[in-house]
Amino acid sequence: MRREPKIRSTAVSFRIFDKIRDHDGLTLTELVEELDRPTSTVHDHLQTLTDLGYLVREGDEYVVSMKFLDLGGYARSRSRLCRIAESEIRDLALDAGDHANLMVEEHGLGVFLLKRKGDEALPLDTYEGKRVPLHTTALGKSMLAYMDDERVDGIIERHGLPEATEHTITDEDELRTELEAIREQGYATDDEERLEGIRCVAAPIRTADDEVVGAVSVSGIKSRMRGDHFHERVPQKVLSTVNVIEVNMRHQ
C-alpha cells in the first residue's frame, strides 16, 4: 500500500511534474482543475519550480525543463549495468531489426534504462526513464519470476495489477501461474499486454548469487513478431545477449 507523504508541499510539487508530463504541458487553470487545489497554491508552486529551473513556460503552458535530462543522465551514468549492457543492447537491436530494451526495477516499477532501435523498428511510446507496472511487460514479468514471493507480494500490494490493455494479466493467480511458466522456459513474452499490436520477448539478468538486476527484451509489431521468429529466433537472441551481459558483469 502506498504510504502518505510526510511533507505534503513536496508531494504537490511532484504531482505537478507528473501531471505536466502526462499531458505534455498544462496551463495554470488546467493544473488547478487536475490537482483540485487553490489557484494561489498552484501558482506559488509553479513560480517556485520555474525559478529553480525545473519548469519552463511556453505561452500559457508550463512544461518540464531540460534540467530533468541532466538529473536522469547523471542517474544513468552511475549504473554499472547500463555501462556494461549498452553495446550489447545496441547490437541486439541491429541484429533483431526491432526495439531492444534494458529495464531495471525501482520502487516496484519497471524503468526503461536503455532503448535502441533496429532498422525495421516502428515508433513506440517508450523512452529511457519511462516507468511502467512490471506485470504489463515481458521485461517486468521476467524479473518478477525470479524474485522471492515476499518481494512479489509487496509489489502487488503497493501497485496492484492495473489493466493497460484488454490482454493485461490482472488476476494474481493467473500472474503467478505465468511466472512459474517463465521460470520453466527461462524467458517471458508479452502479447499486446501493454500496447495493442505489440509483442515482446524478454529475459532477466541475474548475478552469480541469482539476484535479479534487470532484464533485456526485443519488442516489435505483432505482424512481424510471430511464428518461429517470435517463439524461437528472438528468444535465442535475447537469451544470448543476457548471457554475454551476465558474464561481463562478473569479469569487468
Measured in whole angstroms, the distance separating CA 72 from the mean position of its chain's CA atoms is 14
Percent of the chain with pLDDT over 90: 86
Write the pLDDT tens digit of every residue in 108-130. 999 999 999 999 898 899 999 99
Residue 9: the pLDDT is 85
Percent of the chain with pLDDT over 70: 97
Residue 76: the pLDDT is 82
Q: Is 192 exposed, middle or buried (0-12, 13-18, 19+ CB in 10 A)?
A: middle
For residue 152, which of 129, 174, 134 has the smallest C-alpha distance?
134
What pTM value is reported for the model? 0.85
Q: 43 pLDDT exceeds 80?
A: yes
Quickly state the pLDDT bin for 218 (edges 50, 70, 90). very high
Mean local confidence (pLDDT), 188-201? 97
Please, which contacts does 14-18 make with residues 24 or more away whose CB atoms are closer than 8 Å? Answer: 16/42, 16/45, 16/46, 16/49, 16/55, 17/49, 17/54, 17/64
> Which comes out higher in pLDDT, residue 204 or 6?
204
Residue 205, C-alpha cell as written in the block = 539478468
The residue ranges of every structural domain in the chain are: 8-65, 75-251
Q: Which CATH class is domain 8-65?
A: mainly alpha
Residue 1: the pLDDT is 52
C-alpha to C-alpha distance for 138 and 27, rounded to whole angstroms:
36
Q: Which CATH architecture has domain 75-251?
A: 2-Layer Sandwich (3.30)
Residue 201: the pLDDT is 98
Q: 57 pLDDT exceeds 80?
A: yes
Q: 240 pLDDT exceeds 70?
A: yes
Q: 74 pLDDT exceeds 90?
A: no
Quickly state the pLDDT bin for 5 (edges 50, 70, 90). low
Q: 62 pLDDT exceeds 60?
A: yes
Residue 252: the pLDDT is 72
Residue 172: the pLDDT is 97
Q: 101 pLDDT exceeds 70?
A: yes
Write the pLDDT tens digit of every residue in 141-173. 999 999 999 999 999 999 999 999 999 999 999
Quickly state the pLDDT bin for 100 (edges 50, 70, 90). very high
C-alpha to C-alpha distance for 4 and 118, rounded to whole angstroms:
42
